[in-house]
Amino acid sequence: MPSGCVNEYNFAMPTLLPQPYLSRLRQLLAAHAPDAEVWAYGSRVKGSANDTSDLDLVLRDPEDPTRPQKNLPRLTSEIADSTIPILVDVLDWARLPKGFRDEIRKAYVVISPTSHEAELIHGP
């Protein structure tokens, strides 16, 4: 497991989204970014979120992280039009400054493709 990847053993369990919304988000990711690895990061992963906090996501090409994501505008539009009850901010790893990528690497959860850590995420 990568050093910054959050799990139940080394960090407080994050609450990203209640399960039905997390499932819907994964459906949208599979439809619009099927080849991307998707990391959640920020306050919802670190355990410092409040009820109005957004969900921060970054999409990466697992084979070439420098390759930009092509369907980001469509994906963000579909998420905004969905029933997901919070703002979801989606960024492209390839377009982020190195310093920001380094911060994300400190604490993140892989939510797509589905991983063991993501299965442990649950809502209230």
Whether residue 81 has pLDDT greater than 80: yes
Q: CB-based contacts of 97: which residues, under 8 Å, 6+ apart?
A: none
Q: Taking Cα atoms as reference points, which of 5, 103, 15, 10 lies closest to residue 51?
A: 15
Q: Give the chain's length.
A: 124
Active-site position among 54, 61, 64, 81: 54
* CB-based contact 82:50 (threshold 8 Å): no
Domains defined along the chain, listed by start: 19-120 (3.30.460.10)
Quick check: is 64 catalytic? no
What's the pLDDT tens digit per position in 8-33? Answer: 333 334 567 888 898 899 999 999 99
Average confidence score pLDDT of the chain: 83
* CB-based contact 87:44 (threshold 8 Å): no
Which whole number is the average pLDDT over 63-88?
A: 95
| pTM of the predicted model as reported, rounded to 2 decimal places | 0.81
Quick check: is 54 catalytic? yes
Percent of the chain with pLDDT over 90: 61
> What's the CA gap between 3 and 74, in Å, rounded?
31
H or E, element range at 59: strand 55-60
Backbone angles phi, psi at 7, to 5 degrees: -145, 180
Query: How far is C-alpha 10 from the chain's CA centre?
Result: 18
Mean pLDDT is lowest, of 3-7, 27-31, 46-50, 87-91, for 3-7
* CB-based contact 7:107 (threshold 8 Å): no
Active-site position among 35, 51, 56, 61: 56
Whether residue 119 has pLDDT greater than 50: no
